[in-house]
Structure 1
Amino acid sequence: MAVNDCFSLTYPHNPHPGDLIEVFRPCYQHWALYLGDGYVINIAPIDGIRSSFTSAKSVFSTKALVKMQLLKDVVGNDTYRINNKYDTTYPPLPVEEVIQRSEFPIGQEVAYDLLVNNCEHFVTLLRYGEGVSEQANRAIGTIGLVAAGIDIFTFLGLFPKRQRTKY
């Protein structure tokens, strides 16, 4: 895929209803879905962690609130891009259906899990009918590699000790 394939040609100021918005936060990306007239739908963790620890809040939260907010408020001082990166893998639902599906959960509490039910899963479920998150898949892969590395080092670390032990 060419770099510009996931960008709107009018990036970043003219998203269309149903577009996925990727917001670049420190250490992670937040995702929203553009509804039109400057508004997006997104989810935000609501567990009792101070908002100044937003990244930590995402890691430890189990609940999120579905919000309809102005795009400019969601982005704040961060940057964003229109990123419909899954369009070649999953055909987008008709825009009218995406908007209709988006209206129902606004204001609702939903289950949240950083790895299997995060903001990217939420908006891709609305756009494609399938919740996917490349960011979560990378995190799961990293966790698997770290665990495998620990297992290898543990095995290698214990193996020489057993050889040296005399009975």
Structure 2
Amino acid sequence: MAPTLFEVQPKPGDLIEIERTMYSHWAVYIGNNEVVHLLPPGEDLLSMMDSSCAVVRRQRLSAVAPLGFRVNNLLDGKYAPRRRDVIVAEACKLLGRTLHYDLREYNCEHFATSLRYGKRESRQVKEAEDTALALGAVAAVALGAAFFAALLSGEGETKEKEREKRNRQGRRY
């Protein structure tokens, strides 16, 4: 089970990862048990895929993540985080705004990482794309192998038919 606010005290500017059924939701902690996050109209995957806009909201962390969360400043090793006061100020400036939303190009993780690092990235999208590429490669190899096997099988059948034809012709004479 993920930790709750009673077990972990995030610092302002920290990225908060909240596990959902098929994805993680991301928010920026701003202090006082509050987060700022980007929310499409519905939180189920289908409505997220359908939505082209989302609203920046401020909510209590305990309401957004009643079952727990984790502090996950996932790109600290790759990028230098911005100052905590700058992250919080930028997050608060965006409150109430409706922003473009796209599951692949600008989702809640892109929003959160852009506030913390000044660069938008979504590890979830990258992992999904990598998985899709890997599955596509496996499918291509499997199709290629099946085609090659069919080709060899067909070639063998053709040679066998030619042999039978010669044998029949040889018997006629």
Fold shared by both chains (TM-score > 0.5): yes
The aligned residue for residue 167 of structure 2 is none
How far apart are the structure 1 equivalents of 2:116 and 2:7?
19
The aligned residue for residue 27 of structure 2 is 32
The aligned residue for residue 63 of structure 2 is 73
Displacement of 1:128 in angstroms is: 0.8
Q: How many residues align structurally?
A: 151
What TM-score, normalized to structure 2? Answer: 0.76
Displacement of 1:40 in angstroms is: 0.6
The aligned residue for residue 16 of structure 2 is 21
Show structure 2 runs of 5+ residues with no match. 159-173
Equivalent residue letter for 1:151: A
Equivalent residue letter for 2:11: H
Displacement of 1:23 in angstroms is: 0.6
What TM-score, normalized to structure 1? Answer: 0.78
The aligned residue for residue 74 of structure 2 is 85
Equivalent residue letter for 2:48: S
The structure where helix makes up a greater share of residues is 2
Displacement of 1:130 in angstroms is: 0.9
How far apart are the structure 2 equivalents of 1:123 and 1:38?
17
Displacement of 1:22 in angstroms is: 0.8
Displacement of 1:111 in angstroms is: 2.0
Moved more, 65-74 or 157-166: 157-166
Q: Which has the larger radius of gyration?
A: 2
The aligned residue for residue 4 of structure 1 is none
2:54 to 59, 64, 79: 64
